[in-house]
């Protein structure tokens, strides 16, 4: 990682920054000069990413906790303002898969957990950072959606519904925050090589859905390739873009 000045003086919160797309985004923002708040439920992963950033003279701090809990969201924002006195960028990246099942097999507890992590946490964080961004007259929020937010055949019902909701959260927030200079966009990854796949059990979980998923996904992307789309939308180079849903899916959504 070579430090540049693209995000110099800025502070970014990245959720789920301990692994995969979030980790790659945190490293890229830090290499651009941003101070990064690495938020993750996994303390070892979070600490490792902070250490990686600090090893190349970047600036980062970890906040560990379950984003399904509102107090954790409050702690992330309190800690960010306490450490850096500003919030320029929020990347709502953390997300969990479902068990690739249809509504007839989706338990209430799975539905609630997926909605809480994938939808409610991004809403709560958006609401929590908005006052600082509005006061500054600028800010950039990037939500991480999914190909499953664009069509019905990429995951189970809970995950698919949650990622469609992220599209709505993005578009509504973009319009509502536009008068204040705050941009809100969404990157919709296709198949990406991360740790999220290890939660899918092909033997027991919606094998028909998973088979269709594998057949359509085509080329799997590296996490860094998706991160570069997120970083672009977070940057001033995307100053005219808000309310955009940008597929980073190697053409999957074009099929």
**Which residue number, 93 or 235, has a Cβ lying nearer to ligand NAD?**
93
Q: How far is the CB of 4 from ligand NAD (least distance, A)?
A: 24
Q: How far is the CB of 140 from ligand NAD (least distance, A)?
A: 18
In this structure, what are the phi and psi dihedrals at residue 225, rounded to the nearest 5 degrees?
-70, -40
Question: What is the C-alpha to C-alpha distance for residues 228 and 29, in angstroms, rounded to an integer?
Answer: 9
Active site residue 232: no
**40 CB burial (10 A radius; 0-12, 13-18, 19+):** buried
Q: How far is the CB of 109 from ligand NAD (least distance, A)?
A: 14
Nearest of 236, 135, 223 to residue 183 by alpha carbon: 236
**Which residue number, 107 or 197, has a Cβ lying nearer to ligand NAD?**
197
User: Which DSSP string do the residues of 32-61 spell out, in sequence order?
Assistant: TT-EEEEEES-HHHHHHHHHHHHHTT-EEE
> What DSSP element (H or E) covers 221?
strand 221-222
**Which residue number, 72 or 87, has a Cβ lying nearer to ligand NAD?**
72
Q: How far is the CB of 5 from ligand NAD (least distance, A)?
A: 27
**Which residue number, 93 or 170, has a Cβ lying nearer to ligand NAD?**
93
Site residues, ligand NAD (CB under 6 A):
16, 18-22, 40-42, 45, 66-68, 93-96, 117, 144, 146-147, 189, 191-192, 194-196
What residues act catalytically? 159
């Amino acid at each position: 990682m070579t430090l540049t000045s693209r995000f110099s003086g800025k502070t970014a919160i990245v959720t789920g920054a301990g692994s995969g797309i979030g980790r790659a985004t945190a490293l890229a923002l830090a290499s651009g000069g941003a101070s990064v708040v690495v938020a993750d439920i996994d303390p070892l992963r979070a600490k490792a990413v902070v250490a990686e950033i600090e090893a190349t003279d970047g600036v980062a701090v970890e906040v560990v906790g379950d984003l399904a809990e509102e107090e954790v969201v409050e702690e992330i924002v309190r800690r960010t303002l306490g450490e850096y006195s500003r919030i320029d960028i929020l990347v709502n990246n953390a997300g969990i898969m479902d068990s690739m099942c249809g509504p007839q097999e989706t338990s209430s507890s799975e539905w609630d957990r997926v909605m809480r992590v994938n939808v409610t946490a991004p809403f709560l964080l958006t609401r929590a950072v908005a006052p600082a961004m509005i006061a500054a007259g600028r800010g950039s929020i990037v939500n991480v959606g999914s190909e499953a937010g664009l069509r019905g055949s990429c995951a189970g019902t809970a995950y698919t519904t949650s990622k469609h909701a992220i599209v709505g959260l993005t578009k509504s927030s973009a319009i509502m925050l536009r008068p204040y200079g705050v941009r809100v966009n969404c990157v919709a990854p296709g198949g990406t090589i991360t740790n999220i796949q290890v939660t899918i059990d092909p033997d027991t979980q919606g094998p028909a859905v998973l088979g269709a998923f594998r057949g359509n996904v085509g080329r799997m992307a590296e996490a860094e390739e998706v991160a570069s789309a997120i970083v672009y939308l977070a940057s001033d180079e995307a100053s005219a873009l808000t309310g955009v849903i940008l597929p980073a899916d190697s053409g999957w959504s074009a099929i």
